[in-house]
Amino acid sequence: MSASAPAAPSFAFPSATAEGIQLTVIPVRNDAVIGAMSLLTLLQLVPDPKKEESKQALKYASGAARRHAELRALVQRTLTTQKGKNVTTYAAYIASGISGKNGAAWSLPPVTLWLDGMPAAIGAELVDRTGICPLTLTPGSSIVAIDGETQVTAWHLLHDDPERFGITYADLGQVRIPFELYFGLSVADARQIFYDRNVEGVPVAKNLAMSMDQRDLGTQITHRVADAVRVEDADGKIIPFSKLVQARKRQLSKSDPEVVLLSALRVLVITALHGRPGLALTSATIHDGKLPDGVDADQVQRELVPLLTRLISHLYPHFAARDAVTTPAVLAGLGIAAHQAVSWAGDAHGRLSADELLRLLDSVRFERDARYWDGVAASANAAGTLNFGGGAKDAGGRVADALLRPDSEYGRKIRGW
């Protein structure tokens, strides 16, 4: 009699529960959710864009990795542009924020992700009437950052070598990154979102953005000088000059009560700080690493604030009249001239006292008149109307030469001699 076959074991198969990476999200429309995830989750979901552009790395990558790189190329620009150059700077900014160096004055925009396909599952609300629910992504899902990719690349750089940026893996383990995730969209839809985010948005006016940057030494000094100068307004009241500085618009209109743009006044500060080399730095952020050799921020504040306060007070009637002195080109030249009155001025033989500087300026005709400024800081049309559009970099040097050398051709011109 043959032996009977052993009975099959009895067990229950698991239900068809979706497996994968689970995120806690809030739906904002049928094909989009928002939430926050850990750094490790982000790095797992979104490969390093730098590696996806490396032919050498892709040569040995898996088929899935190569397919993801091809998908990314359909909706993203390459890192060989200025975008790629910003990665290290962005990583340093993030590290400064994580380490506490920036206090509470730092933030990161949410990363915008696109899932090529659908989530494995979206569960029921975790807390009634909140919209908070679990979303599950299948392992290996193709997810691309269609906005915020520079930030994603910076996060990869930080995780590869946190010590380089003065932080630790433990610091990174505490990070939560806000995100928005789109799914079920075509490549064309994802491209459109990329376009909308990068082109359709109205950029912040440079003047406003600059006025908000409280880490920039140039902006700090500009605000301090404007606050320190006291002037008489049209009603005879004594007010701080800062009330007459426009910090929110790109340009002044005739009806504005302000007399000068903050960005233009900052040009005066930067050129007074650096002299002629400051012409190339008027759009740059000024921090301790960009100060003249042997000069620290405290010394700059001690010398520049009283010097420029006195200079603006002396020339205030021309500011009030919105004469040529309010233009970036003339302010740049004034700053270069004022640089000769600071202790770190490079040309010892050309140094001036504050009194000598003001005496040089007393003979200058600051009226907006082609007889004085055409060809120096501005160009005139056939009707004699001046256009100061050349700006600080184009004309600042000529204006400085004219101010500092009264007997030169331009020096005589701006003085009406």
- Over the stretch 144-183, which tens digit does the pLDDT of each residue have? 999 999 999 999 999 999 999 999 999 999 999 999 999 9
Cα 415 from Cα 215, distance rounded (Å): 39
Q: Are residues 51 and 147 in the same domain?
A: yes
Q: pTM for this structure?
A: 0.66
Q: Is 265 contained in some domain?
A: yes
Q: Are residues 283 and 299 in the same domain?
A: yes
Tell me what pLDDT residue 199 has.
74
Q: Is 7 contained in some domain?
A: no
Cα 266 from Cα 271, distance rounded (Å): 9
**Can you tell me which residue has the tokens 């299948």?**
138
Residue 356, C-beta contacts closer than 8 angstroms, at least 6 positions apart? 341
Span 342-363, average pLDDT? 88
User: pLDDT grade, residue 11 (50/70/90)?
Assistant: low
User: pLDDT grade, residue 83 (50/70/90)?
Assistant: confident
Q: Are residues 225 and 189 in the same domain?
A: no
Span 359-374, average pLDDT? 94
Cα 175 from Cα 170, distance rounded (Å): 9
Give me the chain's average pLDDT, please. 88
Q: Is 10 contained in some domain?
A: no
Tokens representing 327?
Answer: 């233009």
Largest CA distance in the chain: 131
Q: Are residues 190 and 313 in the same domain?
A: no
Domain boundary among 182, 201, 220: 201
Q: Is 175 contained in some domain?
A: yes
* Residue 334: closest CA among 263, 248, 267, 243: 267
Q: What is the gyration radius of the CA atoms in the chain, in angstroms?
A: 30
Tokens representing 338?
Answer: 């004022």
Tell me what pLDDT residue 175 has.
94
214 — alpha (psi -120 to 50), left (phi > 0) or beta?
alpha
Q: Are residues 232 and 351 in the same domain?
A: yes
Kind of pairing between the strands at 245-246 and 260-261 = parallel
Total domains in the fold of the chain:
2
Q: Are residues 187 and 215 in the same domain?
A: no
Q: Do 361 and 403 touch, CB atoms closer than 8 A?
A: yes
Per the model's pLDDT, the better-predicted residue between 65 and 270 turns out to be 270
* Helix, strand or coil, per DSSP, at residue 113: strand
Span 352-377, average pLDDT? 94
* Sign of the torsion formed by the C-alpha atoms of 156, 160, 166 and 171: positive
Span 373-398, average pLDDT? 86
* Residue 330: closest CA among 285, 367, 371: 367
pLDDT in tens, 52-62: 888 888 888 88
Cα 2 from Cα 290, distance rounded (Å): 93
Tell me what pLDDT residue 208 has.
62
- Domain enclosing residue 256, as ranges: 207-413
In one letter, which amino acid is 236?
G
Q: Is 5 contained in some domain?
A: no
Kindly report the length of the chain: 417
Cα 47 from Cα 149, distance rounded (Å): 11
pLDDT score of 206 more than 70: no
Q: Are residues 174 and 316 in the same domain?
A: no
Burial 127-154 (b: 16+ CB within 10 A, else e): eeeeeebbbbbbeebbbbbbbbbbbbbb
User: pLDDT grade, residue 255 (50/70/90)?
Assistant: confident
Q: Are residues 114 and 253 in the same domain?
A: no
Span 57-74, average pLDDT? 85
* Helix, strand or coil, per DSSP, at residue 381: coil
Tell me what pLDDT residue 266 has.
93
User: pLDDT grade, residue 305 (50/70/90)?
Assistant: very high
Q: Is 45 contained in some domain?
A: yes
Q: Is 388 contained in some domain?
A: yes
CA distances from 108 to 33, 88, 98, 99, 305 (A): 18, 15, 11, 15, 33
User: pLDDT grade, residue 264 (50/70/90)?
Assistant: very high
* Residue 36: closest CA among 23, 45, 21, 47: 23
Q: Do 177 and 111 touch, CB atoms closer than 8 A?
A: yes
Domain boundary among 181, 201, 221: 201
Element (H, E) at 240: strand 238-240
Q: Are residues 360 and 282 in the same domain?
A: yes
Q: Are residues 267 and 350 in the same domain?
A: yes
Give the Cβ contact number of residue 62 at 10 Å.
10
User: pLDDT grade, residue 346 (50/70/90)?
Assistant: confident
Q: Are residues 289 and 359 in the same domain?
A: yes
* Helix, strand or coil, per DSSP, at residue 34: strand
Cα 53 from Cα 64, distance rounded (Å): 15
Domain boundary among 172, 201, 230: 201
Q: Is 15 contained in some domain?
A: no
Residue 96, C-beta contacts closer than 8 angstroms, at least 6 positions apart? 102, 106
**Beta strand ranges found along 15-91 (DSSP E):** 21-29, 32-38
Q: Are residues 228 and 331 in the same domain?
A: yes
